[in-house]
Amino acid sequence: MKAVWHGLKIVAIATIFNSLATSPIFASTEIFGQSGTDGINGRPGRNGISAPEKIIQATGQPQTVELLGTDGENGESGTSGDSASQCQQPRLRANNVCGAKGGSGGDGGDGGKGGNGGSTTIYFDKLPQLKNITLRNRGGRGGVGGQAGNAGYGCNCTRGDWIISYCDWVLMSQALNVANAPWTGVQRHRFLCSGDSFYDERNNRPEVPQGNQNYRYGWKYLGLSDRRRYTCDNGQSGSQGRQGQDGQTGSYGQVSLVRGDNIPQEQVSYSDRPSALSGKTISLLKNNWLEKTGLSSLLSFGSDVPNSYRILQTVRGNFKVLWQTKKTFAELGDPEIKGTIVSSGDLDLDIPGTLEYKVTGSSQQRLLTVSGGIDPKRLARLKFEGFNRFVDPRNFTLLDEANLISELKGVRLTVTVSHPDLGSQTVSYAVTPQSLKTEGLSVQGRFYQVSLGNNFERLVPPGQRVKYHIELNQITCAGVTYTSGMRFDYKVGMVDFNPQVEYY
């Protein structure tokens, strides 16, 4: 075999070497050592206990009241992470290596919140009585946050880099029973080697595989083919734990001062029908809590209290309803009246606009005298009666079923006619009981005769459909306006005894 290989041409060997496929070798990273265990988080501290509420009656005798919130507990410290172990770096691996990571430190537990101071209501007759009270209602301190656990160390390298050599062999084959048969390269094999050709050729020769019985096989050493550098990286240390947050200090309790021995029951508003209110005096009451500062100056020396406090201010008022009209409650609809007292002590009266009335008296004492009005159900009773004058779309009649015009302050009627192609036009009319006729509108009892005039003629061509929108504003004697209206379509020139009218 050796004699045969020595006879091979160098060019032939080079050709075989270049024609054989080579599988790429990718360097991976191997972790060595055992990673450290993470530390344990510290337990958070318990919150402090808030003090209960308490009622204090100021007297001429000294008294000390403790309403302190308790302190929050400290948070526990986190434990440290373990360093990586079994950190023996492997020797001369054909891949990069990296040390195992250290464990992270545990987080410190947060401190508990301090308990709140107790709130108190102090009843007194005279301010100097408060000087006999020593009050302490401070909140408890917050607990201190636990310490962060330290990080564990990773495995370190003992050698930072090294070189690995790769050598190639070619599996050669020669046909048997063929005179002067040439040797042919069949397979190339790459393997780790020392880089010393004399040593590698004698000590690292591959096994000859079992092949075709008609061929003989043997390995040819080609020599050093590649040298690769591999590295070692130190393992990372774990992350430091988080320092626990200190707990918040508890707040002071609220202090409320009340002159007298009780807090009056509020009656901020009252509503009912005139039939139930007439002749009665309705009393209203509202409690205002006024925010003040300088509490320490009102109490005994040695008190530990907030600077701000609140003191009760009570405002009172009343209203009365007198029914001085010949009409019965039912005839005027008996609508609900409501009285409300505001923070200033003034009274607001919510009076239906259908009543005629007069309000006298002071802002805290109101006298409401009803002298007349109308039933709310009689409003918005205007109906469409139809077109007149041989179905002229510019002239029509409306009917007020309640016949209210003489009992109102005034009426405003607004008519809008719209054509889909020709646009729209609006006109308004105003009448009063003293003036029942104006250009375009005449009121005769319950009937409203409307004449739009020639200005609307262009919008109502025969045979075409137009839209009408009629809005009615009825102004009561109290000056309140009630709005209603109607909408309908109309085909000009068509006789329609039952038009579809939408009322609102």
Contact 370, 274 (CB under 8 A): yes
Residue type, 472: L
- Does residue 279 fall inside a structural domain? yes
Same domain membership, residue 172 and residue 284: no
pLDDT at 27: 59
Tell whether 360 and 445 lie within a shared domain. Answer: no
Record the tokens describing residue 378, joined without a space: 């009689």
Token pair recorded at residue 399:
């009917």
Classify residue 216: in a domain, yes or no: yes
* Residue type at 444 in one-letter notation: Q
Kind and range of the H or E element at 464? none
Domain that holds residue 268: 263-373
* pLDDT tens, residue by residue, 77-131: 999 999 999 999 999 899 999 999 999 999 999 999 999 999 999 999 999 999 9
Q: Would you call 307 helix, strand, or coil by DSSP?
A: coil
Angle at the Cα of 52 (from 49 to 54), degrees rounded to 5? 155
Q: Evaluate whether 183 touches 5 at the Cβ level (below 8 Å).
A: yes
Residue 162 β-bridge partners: 230
User: Which of the 8 DSSP states describes residue 59?
Assistant: -
For residues 174 and 288, membership in a common domain is answered with no
H helices present in 219-279, as ranges: 274-277
Same domain, residue pair 168 and 221: yes
Tokens of 429: 């009319």
Q: How far is CA 4 from the centre of its chain?
A: 88
Q: How far apart are CA 173 and CA 212, in angstroms?
A: 10
Q: Which residues, including other chains, have CB under 8 Å from residue 363's CB and lie 6 or more apart?
A: 317, 344, 345, 346, 347
Judgement on whether residues 397 and 364 belong to the same structural domain of the protein: no
Q: How far apart are CA 490 and CA 38, in angstroms?
A: 86
Contact 246, 143 (CB under 8 A): yes
Concatenated DSSP letters of 81-116: PPPPB---PPSS-SSEEEEPPPPPPPPPPPPPPPPP
Are residues 392 and 348 located together in one domain of the fold? no
d(CA 310, CA 293): 8
- Residue 439 located in a structural domain: yes
pLDDT at res. 19:
34
Q: Is 15 strand, coil or helix?
A: helix
Per-residue tokens: 32: 């060595």
Q: What is the rounded CA–CA span in Å between residue 451 and residue 467?
A: 16
Sign of the C-alpha dihedral computed for residues 361, 363, 364 and 368 taken in this order: positive
Q: Are residues 395 and 313 in the same domain?
A: no
The pLDDT tens digits of the residues spanning 199-252 come to: 988 888 888 888 889 999 999 999 999 999 999 999 999 999 999 999 999 999
- Whether 366 maps to a domain, the answer reads yes
- Domain-located, residue 59: no
Shared domain check, 398 and 476:
yes
Interstrand relation of 255-259 and 308-323 (parallel, antiparallel or unpaired): parallel
pLDDT in tens, the chain (504 residues): 333 333 333 233 333 333 333 333 445 899 999 999 999 999 999 999 999 999 999 998 999 999 999 999 999 999 999 999 999 999 989 999 999 999 999 999 999 999 999 999 999 999 999 999 999 999 999 999 999 999 999 999 999 999 999 999 999 999 998 999 999 999 998 888 888 888 988 888 888 888 889 999 999 999 999 999 999 999 999 999 999 999 999 999 999 999 999 999 999 999 999 999 999 999 999 999 999 999 999 999 999 999 999 999 999 999 999 999 999 999 999 999 999 999 999 999 999 999 999 999 999 999 999 999 999 999 999 999 998 766 789 999 999 999 999 999 999 999 999 999 999 999 999 999 999 999 999 999 999 999 999 999 999 999 999 999 999 999 999 999 999 999 999 999 888 777 899 999
| Beta partners for residue 194, in sequence order | none
Q: Which residue has the tokens 């000056």?
A: 479
Domain count, the chain: 3
- The verdict on residue 49 lying in a domain is no
**What pLDDT digit, counting tens, does each position of 378-398 carry?**
999 999 999 876 678 999 999
Task: Tell me the pLDDT of the chain averaged across its residues.
Answer: 92
Among the three residues 228, 247, 274, which one is the final residue of a domain in this structure? 228
Determine whether 51 is exposed, middle or buried from the number of CB atoms within 10 Å of its CB (0-12, 13-18, 19+).
buried
Q: Which helix (H) or strand (E) holds 16?
A: helix 10-19
Q: Using CB atoms within 10 A of its CB, is residue 288 exposed (0-12), middle (13-18) or buried (19+)?
A: middle
Q: How much is the pTM?
A: 0.70
Q: Domain boundary at 352, 373, 394, which? A: 373
Asked whether the beta carbons of 370 and 493 are under 8 A apart, the reply is no
Q: Looking at the domain assignment, is residue 382 inside a domain? A: yes
